[in-house]
Amino acid sequence: MEKKQTARLLAVGDIYFNRTDLESPYQDIEKLLYKVDVRFCNYEAAFTSVERPLPGRALSNIPLKSPMSNIRALEDGHFDFISLANNHILDYGTNALEETLAAFEERCMVFGGAGRTIEQALNPTVIKRQGISFGFLAFAAAFPPSYTATSSQAGIAPIRIHTSYAPDFAREAEHPGRLPAIITAVDVNDIATMEDAVCNLKRRADHVIVSYHWGVPGRHDLVDYQRSLGHATIDAGASIVLGHHAHNLQAVEAYKQGVIIYGLSQFIFDLPALRDYGFSEETVAAIIELNDSEIFSVTMVPLIAEGFSTPRLPSSEEAEHIFELLRQLSDPLGTELSWNADDYTISLRL
């Protein structure tokens, strides 16, 4: 039987530019970027001239913004879909976001997950390559509540998570100070919105890809809602779930007909302070090959985000360490990963 036509999607994690030297930040991995058909990333800040962050943002977090001149560096990556659904895109307010959206539109850069209204933030994108259609949606599950888009306010497409705590009262006296269990659950209205969006997009695209900004920064392990939301997304009809926000690699899972990459880590992040938070420079680029009806293969290319700002190919020892890390994280989910010594890549058994 003749093999069906396939196309390849490349996905990387968080990107943030704040630099003066704009000469190809991708120079060490250009071949990797340009040998695929569709490219995805999450961009973590507004391109803006607004000078002051939102009140209180500088006190509770590191507010991020990019000089408008840096948009050229993002353009040079030739990303076909850029998620803006994250916890920093509105650090400088709605005017900064709207400035960013206008700059993207002027340059024909395709984005999702944020908009001038909730309707625009939820608006899907369909891209066709090699006769195969890819439908993209983007949501944030980790964000300040005020960043939520409404029918009259710019913001992000939200997936709200409810957190509760369950002390072990039966053993409280025996183990005073014992930490309570932390339980997280997806808002039922937001999960219904996601399911409707995926179902509707599936009518227009061969494959639906959903991006989530989720998890806990600095952690390799998953929060329970990530698995339940990831599974619900595949159950709704998506083929691929792409996660980011933790700034560390997280597990990979083959679930039913789909693939969930829980944490892609950061790809390029011009914030040296990340090291102070214990974040890792280890990352991957995921390359997913699909035909018009199924996922054909999933390959992860280990990379090192040198100084968090320059992705490069790793040494054999660095690459094998990334494989062992992903294997340990993914094994409990029933995932089978294999190491390809010839080209230092990792394959997922489907």
Determine the pLDDT at residue 273: 85
Helical pair 188-202 and 224-235, crossing angle rounded to 10 deg: 30
Q: Is the pLDDT of residue 46 over 80?
A: yes
CA gap 139, 114 in Å, rounded: 8
In the chain, % helix, strand, coil (3-state, to 5) comes to 25, 35, 40
Domain boundaries, the chain: 7-348
Give the pLDDT confidence of 188-209 residue by residue, as tens digits.
999 999 999 999 999 999 999 9
CA 248 to CA 43: how far, in whole Å? 16
Backbone angles phi and psi of 71, in degrees to 5: -65, -25
pLDDT at residue 173 is higher than 90: no
Q: How far apart are CA 349 and CA 152, in angstroms?
A: 45
| Residue 167's pLDDT band (cuts 50, 70, 90) | confident
What are the tens digits of pLDDT across the range 216-254? 999 999 999 999 999 999 999 999 999 999 999 999 999
Q: Is 103 helix (H, G, I), strand (E, B) or coil?
A: helix
Mean pLDDT, the chain, rounded, equals 95
Q: Please return the burial class of 219, using the count of CB atoms within 10 Å of its CB with bins 0-12, 13-18 and 19+.
A: middle
Side chain identity at residue 161, one-letter code: I
Question: 253-274, pLDDT tens digit by residue?
Answer: 999 999 999 999 999 999 988 8
DSSP 3-state assignment of 317?
A: helix
Paired with 161 in beta bridges are 186
Q: What is the β-pairing status of strands 258-261 and 295-306?
A: unpaired
The label of the residue with tokens 């998953």 reads 222
Length of the chain: 350
For residues 28 and 204, what is the distance between their CA atoms, to the nearest angstrom? 36
Position 41 scores a pLDDT of: 98
Output the pLDDT for position 2: 61
Are the beta carbons of 346 and 302 closer than 8 angstroms? yes
Residue 203 backbone dihedrals phi, psi, to 5 degrees: -70, -20
Which residue has better confidence, 150 or 56? Answer: 150
* Cα separation, 228 vs 217, whole angstroms: 19
pTM over 0.75: yes
- Domain 7-348: assigned CATH number: 3.60.21.10
Q: Is the pLDDT of residue 1 over 60?
A: no
DSSP run (H or E) holding 182: strand 181-186
Q: What is the pLDDT of residue 59?
A: 66
pLDDT at 76 over 80: yes
Q: Which tens digit of pLDDT belongs to each residue from 108-157?
A: 999 999 999 999 999 999 999 999 999 999 999 999 999 999 999 999 99
Q: How far is CA 166 from CA 62, 170, 183, 310, in A?
A: 31, 11, 7, 43
Sequential DSSP letters for 153-172? S-EE-B--EEEEEE--GGGT
